[in-house]
Amino acid sequence: MDSLSHIATKQSTGNRKECRHSERAKGLARFYKQSMVLRIKELRKTKNWTQEELADRAGMSRSQLAMIEAETRPANTVRLNAIAAALGVQTRDLFGEGAEKQIVFDLLDQMSAEDRAAIVRMAEALAAKNTQK
């Protein structure tokens, strides 16, 4: 059975050969596990709505909304669009300003000290360029 798929396990093939896409897949998995810094609760509270009210308007259960708000369950674009429409905002408004910063911090944590130092030098150069304008 040498023609098994690349997803076959070590037990079934006797040898383990990584798929050529495995590193990219691991990187994507790390990216999608990162917190999105959603502002749904903040926006909901400005309207004085309960989770139940927003969930009804967005066409989902209160428990689904609660998990999305707490970021214990990932939200797909359909759900995010429904929540944004119910709140009367653009989907991009659901994301906090700190989301990009958090992604950068998470990526920095995965780098070597040498690479982090290079990123800091690059950021300092870009900041200096922007202050000259």
CA–CA dist 44, 101 (Å, integer)? 23
pLDDT at 28: 59
Number of neighbouring beta carbons within 10 Å of residue 131: 7
pLDDT attached to residue 10:
42
**pLDDT at 38 (0 to 100):** 82
Rounded-to-integer distance, Cα 59 and Cα 80, Å? 11
pLDDT digits 0-9 by tens, 78-99: 999 999 999 998 888 888 765 5
**Looking at residues 96-120, what average pLDDT do you find?**
79
User: Rounded to an integer, what distance in angstroms lies between the CA atom of residue 115 and that of residue 100?
Assistant: 19
Residue 45 in contact with residue 37, Cβ under 8 Å? no
Count CB atoms within 10 A of the CB of residue 82.
20
pTM (two decimals): 0.51
Both tokens of 126, joined, read: 């870009």
